[in-house]
Amino acid sequence: MADTAINRPADNRVALPTGEPSRGRIAMLTADRVEDVEFFYPYYRFVEAGYDVDVITPSGGELTAYRGMGLQQTTALADVDPGDYLMLYVPGGLAPTALRENAAALDFVRAFAVADKPVGLVCHGPQMLVSAGLAEGRRLTSWYEVSSEIEAAGGIWVNEPVVQDGSFFTARKPGDLPAEMHKIMEHLAQR
C-alpha cells in the first residue's frame, strides 16, 4: 500500500526553493483579505528568481486571502527585522486597510524607506505609504479609488501601469503585475 502523503507539503501553496543559492530575502507584508493574485503572483515570481520570501502578517499564523486562497503559516511582524531584507512588497486587496491601522506595520514600511530599500506596492498597497507619511511629493499609482488619498497626502497620482519614484514601485491592478515585477527585478539585479 503506497503512502500518498509522501513528499506532499503540508501547505501546497508554499513555494519550494529552486535549489539555487539564495539571492537574498524579500519581505512580503500583508494581512487577511489580501487580493489573491496580487499576493501569489509576486510571491512566486520572487521565489522563481531565486529570492527567499518571508510572508509577514501582524500576528503570524494562517493567512486567508480575499478569494479563499492563502497560506497555513506566516511570520509574525514582531519577529522580524527590516534590516534582514533586500526589499519589501505590499500586495493590495483589503489587507492594506487593516495594516494601515497597525503602528508596527507602518514603522516596518518606514524602515525600508529610510534605508532606501525598494518597496513594491500594488492596488490598495500605496495606502501604506499614505498612512506612514511617505506619499508627499512622490509620483505614485494605485487602484483608482486610492488616488484621492494619495493626492490629499501631497502625492502625485498618475494613471500608469507602473510608476517608479526612487525606491518606490507602484502598480494599479493585477494586470499591471508583470510590468511591475519586471521593473523590480531589473532594479534588484543592479543592487
Active site residue 124: yes
Question: Which of 124, 125, 132, 177 is flagged as catalytic?
Answer: 124
Give the CA angle between residues 98, 51, 77 to the nearest 5°. Answer: 30
3-state SS string for the chain: CCCCCCCCCCCCCCCCCCCCCCCCEEEEECCCCECHHHHHHHHHHHHHCCCEEEEEECCCEEEECCCCCEEEEEEEHHHCCHHHCCEEEECCECHHHHHCCCHHHHHHHHHHHHCCCCEEEECCCCHHHHHCCCCCCCEECCCHHHHHHHHHCCCEECCCCEEEECCEEEECCHHHHHHHHHHHHHHHHHC
Q: According to the model, what pLDDT value does residue 2 have?
A: 46
Q: According to the model, what pLDDT value does residue 4 have?
A: 53
Section 139-150 average pLDDT: 98
For residue 78, pLDDT over 60 is answered with yes
For residue 41, pLDDT over 50 is answered with yes
For residue 104, pLDDT over 80 is answered with yes
